[in-house]
Structure formats: C-alpha cells, structure tokens
C-alpha cells in the first residue's frame, strides 16, 4: 500500500475562536454560516443545531442591525458551538455582540470609520479576549483600490487585507485571521499564496459566491484543495447556494480526501457497469444517508464485481465485493462472510456500526487515539 502522504502545513500563529484553536498545529476547522433571518431566533437556533449535528466547528451569524444583535444574545444562550458575528461598518453592533457572548468578530477595521471607533472595537476585543477576522472580498473592494487596479485582482485583495492588518498592528492587536476571497478560482489561489508569504496569522480559506451545490463544490474543491496541498489554510468555509449543512459535509469531504481530518464514514465505491452483481449506486446512496450520524473515521468500500473488488475491500475497514451467487464482505482486510443482494444495506450498516462500537470501546480503554 502506498504510504500516506503528510502535508507540511504553513506555520501560523494560533488563535482561539471560543474553544476551537485555529492555526498553529490545530486541526483545520470547518465553518459554515446561517442563512436564516437572525431575528428569527428559533429558526436560527434550529439551523445551528443541524450544523452541529453535521460536525461543524464554528458558525458565523450575520448581525446587520441592533435588533439582530439583541437576537444574537438569545441565540448565544441556546447553542454551545463557537459563534462568529458578521458585522459591516457599524462599530456599535460589534460592541453590542461582544457583551452577548460572541466568540469572534468578523469586521474589517478599515471600514468602521473614525479612529476612535476603530480603537473602541479593538480595545473591546482585547478586553474580552476576542479574535477578529478580517474578511476581504473581490466584490466589495475599496473604491480607491478599484480605481487603482481597474478591476478586482489578487494584488488588490492582498493590498486591501494588508491595510486592515496594518491598523490592527498599529494598535498592537495580533489575534486575528484573514480571508481574501474571490469567486474566480485563479484569483483566489494567487491572493492566498501572496498573503501567506507576508503574515503569520492564520488564514480562513474560501471561494466567495462559489455558486450552486454542484458547481460551488467543484470550485471550492479545486481552489481549497490546491491551497491545502501547499500547506496553506487553517480554517475553511465552503460557500454554497444550498443548505448550509451541505457546506459542512463538503468541507469535511475535502479535508478527508487530503488526510487532513478523519471524520465520519469514507465511502469508496465504483461508478458501476454491467459487471456489477448488485445496484451499486442505490446501495451507496442509501448507506451514505443511513451513516451520516457517525463521526468516527471508518473506510467503507463497496465494489460491484470481482475485478477491483477484493483489492479495494482488503484496504478498507469494512468492504464488500460483488460476486456470484453471493457477495463477499471483508472486515479489517480479511474475508468475513457472504451477503445476499437483498440484505446488503442492512448488513453493511450493521458491520460499520459494530466497527464504530469497537473503536469507541478501544478509545475508552486508551488503546487507540481519538480520530480528528
């Protein structure tokens, strides 16, 4: 078996968003953002809880008004995941949510206005021990930079970010992370590469306005996957015009594909052809839905025939290869037992859950380390 490639990550300063470390040697965290009306507390809390069930590490909530800031306080009391308040321009909102238990402020200091307002927000962050996220987007660059560059470019994104960084530096504030997002993959890549060479703070990766579930997933996988393989990036958000829960799932799938996080069931499946001895696509789709609640790391191989089946099944924790008259299951690389086609999904689910149960028992005994 090919030895596992370990990505050498860029060394960054570590900050904490609530109890989640970002940067340094911390696991790369997965974020999402609510798309409910923040003033609808019940709807927002419900969505955050669904994101937690999906395994999200950090959740961002838009806080555009003082009424939303008031609602944020009620939301904060009902969930225990770290929350980032997304604020633009109004420094009073930043001060308000700081009093209501926010874990991080997403606000660009250069957009706050007068120096006394900037100083008030930074001092508040210092007093409360809150990090700040600088978030630069190609679609909202400063007018001066738009005139200078004529259009959004990677250099314009980096210059905008460094202006905000300079403000925090002048106020001796170092607990921040930065994003430089564009909807264009190449611009995103170049911006993050350039910025990573100039600051020590952690980078929040993302492709902004990436698009629908399918196209946005592809763009994000290409851009973020490339950066992560280069060791760039400390936390990620997949921006999709879809249910935010899908952002979390896609984020973890990207990290799992690069061996940067191990979470949940990793399904290895053939695309199927006329050699298949059972309906592979139907089987794996049903298994994926049934096994979504599992957070432990398990590799499950489902292959429809004997051509590639045995090889893939032996490398997985739980495996199945199609065969005639019956299919053959594998456990921990060894042949286990035959399974009929009409009992595939139930039996594979049983085997995976038994594997997870044993992992938990071994973990409790200190035999294995907890998966990240």
Q: Enumerate the known binding-site residues for [4Fe-4S] cluster.
A: 270, 273, 305, 312
36-39: list long-range contacts, CB under 8 Å, 24+ apart. 38/62, 38/63, 38/64, 38/68, 38/71, 38/72, 38/75, 39/67, 39/68, 39/71
DSSP E strands, the chain? 15-17, 20-22, 29-33, 58-62, 83-86, 104-106, 132-137, 176-181, 204-205, 235-237, 265-269, 298-303, 318-321, 327-331, 334-339
CB atoms within 10 A of CB 32: 29
Bridge partners, residue 20, by sequence: 17
> Do the beta carbons of residue 194 and residue 169 sit within 8 Å?
no
Judged by DSSP in three states, 259 sits in coil
Instruction: Tell me how far apart the terminal alpha carbons of the chain are, to the nearest angstrom.
Output: 22
Query: Would you give the distance in Å from CA 243 to the centre of its chain?
Result: 14
Residue among 165, 231, 240, 166 at smallest CA distance from 192? 231
Element (H, E) at 341: none
CA distance 108 to 1: 48
Where is the binding site, in residues?
Answer: 270, 273, 305, 312
Query: Would you give the distance in Å from CA 309 to the centre of its chain?
Result: 31
CA distance 87 to 45: 19
């Amino acid at each position: 078996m090919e030895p596992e490639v370990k990505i050498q990550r860029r060394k960054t300063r570590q900050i904490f968003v609530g109890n989640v470390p970002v940067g340094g040697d911390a696991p790369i965290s997965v974020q999402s953002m609510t798309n409910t009306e923040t003033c609808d507390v019940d709807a927002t809390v419900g969505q955050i809880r669904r994101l937690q069930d999906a395994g999200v590490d950090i959740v961002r909530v838009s806080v555009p008004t003082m009424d939303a800031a008031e609602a944020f306080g009620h939301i904060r009391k009902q969930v225990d995941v770290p929350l980032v308040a997304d604020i633009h321009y109004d420094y009073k909102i930043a001060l308000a949510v700081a009093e209501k238990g926010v874990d991080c402020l997403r606000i660009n200091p250069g957009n706050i206005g007068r120096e006394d307002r900037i100083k008030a927000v930074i001092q508040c962050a210092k007093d409360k021990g809150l990090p700040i996220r600088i978030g630069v987007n190609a679609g909202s660059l400063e007018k001066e930079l738009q005139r200078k560059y004529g259009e959004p470019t990677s250099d314009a994104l980096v210059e905008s970010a460094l202006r905000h960084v300079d403000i925090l530096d002048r106020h001796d504030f170092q607990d921040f992370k930065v994003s430089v997002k564009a909807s264009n993959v190449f611009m995103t890549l170049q911006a993050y590469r350039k910025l990573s060479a100039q600051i020590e703070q952690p980078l929040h990766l993302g492709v902004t306005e990436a698009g629908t579930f399918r196209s946005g997933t592809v763009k994000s996988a290409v851009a973020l996957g490339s950066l992560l393989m280069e060791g760039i990036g400390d936390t990620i958000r997949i921006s999709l015009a879809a249910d935010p829960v899908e952002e979390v799932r896609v984020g973890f799938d990207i990290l799992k594909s690069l061996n940067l996080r191990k979470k949940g069931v990793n399904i290895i499946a053939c695309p199927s052809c006329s050699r298949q001895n059972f309906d592979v696509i139907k089987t794996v789709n049903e298994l994926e839905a049934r096994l979504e609640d599992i957070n432990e790391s398990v590799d499950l191989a489902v292959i429809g025939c004997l051509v590639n089946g045995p090889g893939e099944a032996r490398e997985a924790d739980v495996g199945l290869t199609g065969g005639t008259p019956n299919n053959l299951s594998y456990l921990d690389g060894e042949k286990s037992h035959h399974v009929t086609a009409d009992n595939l999904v139930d039996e594979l689910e049983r085997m995976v859950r038994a594997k997870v149960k044993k992992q938990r028992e071994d973990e409790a005994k200190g035999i294995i380390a907890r998966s990240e």
